[in-house]
């Protein structure tokens, strides 16, 4: 799956949060607090792109999200490609 740079950046942030918290369901503010104000819209577009591609799943109230199995696989593919 092809990811644009802002999607790749947000996916890496999501995985960092996952590794720090060891849970798959996270509050959205845990992620958005890492975004610089000047780049907020680019990160938000990346987040929405990940949701459209089903790499993350948003809660109905959009206060939480989780990384999906497909998101985990996409992250591993990115890591392998960057290591090569």
State the total domains in the chain. 1
SS3 content of the chain, % helix, strand, coil (to 5): 65, 10, 25
Element (H, E) at 1: none
What is the pTM assigned to this prediction?
0.90
Residue 17 pLDDT grade (very low, low, confident, very high; cuts 50, 70, 90): very high
Indicate the pairing of strand 25-27 with strand 56-58.
unpaired
Domain containing residue 15: CATH number: 1.10.10.10
Range of the domain at 65: 5-83
Instruction: Report the alpha-carbon distance of residue 62 to residue 60 in Å, rounded.
Output: 5
Residues 35-62 have pLDDT tens digits of: 999 999 999 999 999 999 999 999 999 9
């Amino acid at each position: 799956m092809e990811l644009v740079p802002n999607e790749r950046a947000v996916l890496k942030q999501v995985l960092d949060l996952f590794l720090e918290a060891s849970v798959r369901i996270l509050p959205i503010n845990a992620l958005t607090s890492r975004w610089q104000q000047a780049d907020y819209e680019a990160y938000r577009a990346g987040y929405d792109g990940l949701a459209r591609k089903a790499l993350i799943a948003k809660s109905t109230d959009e206060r939480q999200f989780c990384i999906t199995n497909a998101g985990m696989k996409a992250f591993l593919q990115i890591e392998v490609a960057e290591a090569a």
